[in-house]
Amino acid sequence: MLHYLKIWLACVRYSITRTMMFRFDFLLWASVEVLWMFVNLLLVTVIYAHTDEIAGWTKYEMMLLVGTAMLIQRFLMGFFWSSLFELARNIRSGYFDFFLAQPGNIMFMATTRKLDLDGLMNSILATAVVIYSAWQLGLHPSVFDIVMYALMIGCGVMIHYSAMLTVVSLGFWITNAQGLEGSYFSMFEFSRLPRQAFKGVTRILFVWALPVVIVSNVPAQTLLHGFQPAFALWLFGVTLFWFTLATVLFHRGLRRYSSASS
């Protein structure tokens, strides 16, 4: 683990150095993401100007849910998105050969090489939204609840990472997986909605079949209502399932990769 930590820290230094070489680009995209987050919060404010609750969720409960979804998304974008987004293109172009020569696990090296500092910086704003919403609601979560919330945020990031890696790994079999990547990114929008709002087929699809709703709802409910073992086990089980699926599919696809020289 110390070996992999040293490799990851080297990637962090590389990413920071590269970002500081293009400071305006960093500031521009960080500002765009702040504006996008502001628009989402403004939408919640406008909707609740005409109603008191949605699917049993009040205004600041919804803001806490939105802040939680933003936090998970910012961590995913910051730690993994750039590497995952480039993976299918690297497989298609043959540049994936570069990762085969790296001193470590190929999946680790290929999916953690780049960091997006703008995404990580805006996780501070998302955290502020969660704290402000909890203060408005008068919540006083215990230390245990806060620790479990943090662990569930980590599970949410890993679920999205695994699902994205599963989609991207299809690039070993198909010519272009970029359309699928964009489709999965679009489903992030559902993570800002309450689980109770989904009925019928949509509930089966977005709550049970796909992990786009529970990744934010379960952590948010932990702050709102305290630790709930059944929901926690559900989230941990989904995390294990998707990470296992992503790992198996990636390594099966790796056997099909024939490198640029072929």
Q: Over its length of 262 residues, how does the chain's per-residue pLDDT go in tens digits?
A: 788 888 888 888 888 888 788 777 778 777 887 888 888 888 888 989 888 888 889 999 999 999 999 999 889 988 998 888 888 788 877 788 888 877 778 899 888 888 888 778 888 889 999 999 999 999 998 999 999 999 999 999 999 999 889 988 888 887 666 666 666 667 777 888 888 888 888 888 888 888 888 899 999 999 998 888 998 999 999 999 999 999 999 999 888 887 655 5
State the amino acid at position 252 in one-letter form.
R
pLDDT of residue 21: 81
Does the residue 262 lie in any domain?
no
pLDDT at site 261: 56
Q: Is residue 229 part of a domain?
A: yes
> Amino acid letter at 28?
L
What's the pLDDT score for residue 23? Answer: 78
In a domain, 32, yes or no: yes
**Helix pair angle (178-186, 82-93), 10° resolution:** 160
| Backbone angles phi and psi of 138, in degrees to 5 | 70, 30
Question: In this structure, is the dihedral angle defined by the CA atoms of residues 229, 231, 235 and 238, taken in order, positive or negative?
Answer: positive
Query: 207: domain range?
Result: 2-256
Q: Which two tokens stand for residue 81?
A: 């998105």
Helix axes 82-93, 143-169, angle to 10 degrees: 20
Residue 104 lies in a domain: yes
Q: How many structural domains compose the chain?
A: 1
Residue pair 246/163 in contact by the 8 Å Cβ criterion = yes
243 in any annotated domain: yes
3 state SS of 241: helix
Give pLDDT, residue 204: 83
Virtual CA dihedral for 82, 87, 92, 95, nearest 10 degrees? 90
Rounded Cα–Cα distance for residues 250 and 257 (Å): 11
Beta bridge partners of 57: 54
- The three-class DSSP label of residue 114 is coil
Judge if pTM exceeds 0.85: yes
Does residue 205 lie within any of the structural domains? yes
143 assigned to some structural domain: yes
- Report yes or no: 122 and 74 within 8 Å, Cβ to Cβ: yes
Coil/strand/helix, residue 54: strand
Tokens coding 69:
């979804």
- Report CA torsion sign: 63, 82, 121, 221: positive
In this structure, what token pair is assigned to residue 158? 């890993």
Dist. CA 252–CA 123, nearest whole Å: 34
* Identity at 254, one-letter amino acid code: L
How many angstroms separate the CA atoms of 219 and 229, rounded?
12
Does residue 261 belong to any structural domain of this protein?
A: no
